[in-house]
Amino acid sequence: MSIYDSRRLSFIVVLLTVFILIFNTASVFADGNDGNFENEMQDISQEQLKPVHGKVVEILSDEIEETEGYDQNYEMRHQRVKVKITSGKHKGETIIVDNYIDERIVYNIIVNKGDNVLLFLEEDENGNILVGYIGEIARDKYLLYLVIVFILLLILVGGFKGFKTVITLALTILAVVKILLPLILKGYSPVLVSIIVSIGVIIITLLIISGINKKTLCAIIGTAGGVLIAGLIALGIGTMAKLTGLGNEEAQMLMFIPQNISFNFKGLLFAGIILGALGAVMDVSMSISSAMYEMQSVNPEISTKDLIKSGMNMGRDIMGTMSNTLILAYAGGAIHLMLLFLAYNFSFVEIINRDMIASEVVRALAGSIGLILTIPLTVLVSGTIGRDKNYKSI
């Protein structure tokens, strides 16, 4: 390893140490000093059945049964299967499970011999199994394989940069799961929390990827500005359009969670837009900042006017594809809903005025506007304060 790489690695270690300190402090703050929130969450989780892994070793029977309903008879498929428990305190035990498939329900779990499943077990006071239920097909193993392939490809193709990318991805996930979500669930403002966490993610990610230099500073300013613009536009338009933030089932279900928290649902919509736009905006800002940094390194005598003009030309090329990326990402997530509207011939006016659809339109367009405005912001910053041909990165 060269002296340059050693210094970069030392810098990453120091930055990770700082992040861990911040992360621990934020986690304690999220849990509360008195531990009431943590105890409450434990009490809630204890009331729920915990899933364990199992493997179907034999299908004992698979029959169609006639069942009486309120107004008519219908057929019910009944599987009686032998399942070996492969995790938890009952690991190694084998139980018989009844699995019912209701033809009136679209989503059913049909198992075959050799399938890995998630089981929910009911126990008596002595801890013995009373009955087991198949809750879902176990897919975590295959998702883990995909994650491993993704990480390996990042490292193999990207080398040391790929390794740093893996670190930043892990830190981003930790920041969202362990800081942002717990703080919102504890009742803190989703607007304030999402802004603080996003800025923290931007700074740490770009510093790890590119080190301390003018290029990174310009990218941080451009990304933070673009993301905040997207969020503020969404908040403003959402207020004028009287969006409730309750346009989907998941948001509505939050009204009935056992913690009895009064959420700011408009703020949650804002937080979602911030997170949704963050990755694309960061990509655009870093690409422009890096390209302009390289241009002035190759040609230190280039004028500020020509540098900014070249940066805007690059930004225009990036703008079209990245805007499509955001729009298509949101459209892809709503494809089932769009098909339903098309199948039942809803009018365009009726569709666009629904809270759920209007929220998604605001989410997609506000994110795209933030991305578009990130380009001139990053170009101007890179062409002015970013000009320092004698600057040496660590």
pLDDT of residue 46: 43
Q: Are 188 and 268 in contact (CB under 8 A)?
A: no
pLDDT of residue 386: 72
Give yes or no for residue 8 having a pLDDT over 60.
Answer: no
Residues 6+ away with beta carbon under 8 Å from 148: none
Q: What is the pLDDT averaged over residues 173-201? A: 87
CATH 2.40.50 in the chain: give the residue spans: 50-138
pTM over 0.75? The answer is no
Task: Report pLDDT digits (tens) over 242-255.
Answer: 887 776 677 777 77
Q: Are 97 and 125 in contact (CB under 8 A)?
A: no
Helix axes 335-343, 304-333, angle to 10 degrees: 60
Bridge partners of 341, per DSSP, are none
d(CA 381, CA 379): 6
Task: Report pLDDT digits (tens) over 77-93.
Answer: 888 999 999 998 899 99
Residue 186 structure tokens: 């504890």
Q: For domain 187-383, is the CATH number 1.10.15?
A: no
Residue 24 structure tokens: 């621990």
Give yes or no for residue 342 having a pLDDT over 50.
Answer: yes
Residue 331 structure tokens: 């459209």
In angstroms and rounded to an integer, the radius of gyration of the C-alpha atoms of the chain is 26
Task: Report pLDDT digits (tens) over 282-308.
Answer: 888 988 998 888 888 888 888 888 889
DSSP 332-381: HHTHHHHHHHHHTT--HHHHHTSHHHHHHHHHHHHHHHHHHHHHHHHHHH
Looking at the domain covering 50-138, what would its CATH class be? mainly beta
CATH 1.20.1640 in the chain: give the residue spans: 187-383
> Helix (H, G, I), strand (E, B), or coil: what is residue 277?
helix
Quickly state the pLDDT bin for 3 (edges 50, 70, 90).
Answer: very low
Task: Report pLDDT digits (tens) over 102-154.
Answer: 877 767 888 999 999 999 998 888 888 888 889 899 998 899 999 999 999 98
Phi and psi (nearest 5°) for 57?
-100, -20
Average pLDDT, the chain: 80
- Pairs from 384-388 (Cβ < 8 Å, separation ≥ 24): 384/304, 385/214, 385/217, 385/218, 386/214, 386/215, 386/217, 386/218, 386/289, 386/292, 386/293, 387/214, 387/296, 387/304, 387/307, 388/214
Task: Report pLDDT digits (tens) over 38-73.
Answer: 454 444 444 456 789 999 999 998 888 777 655 566
Quickly state the pLDDT bin for 269 (edges 50, 70, 90).
Answer: confident
- Pick the closest to residue 282 from 329, 322, 255, 340 (CA basis): 322
Find the range with the poorest average confidence among 168-172, 270-274, 374-378. 270-274
> Helix (H, G, I), strand (E, B), or coil: what is residue 243?
coil
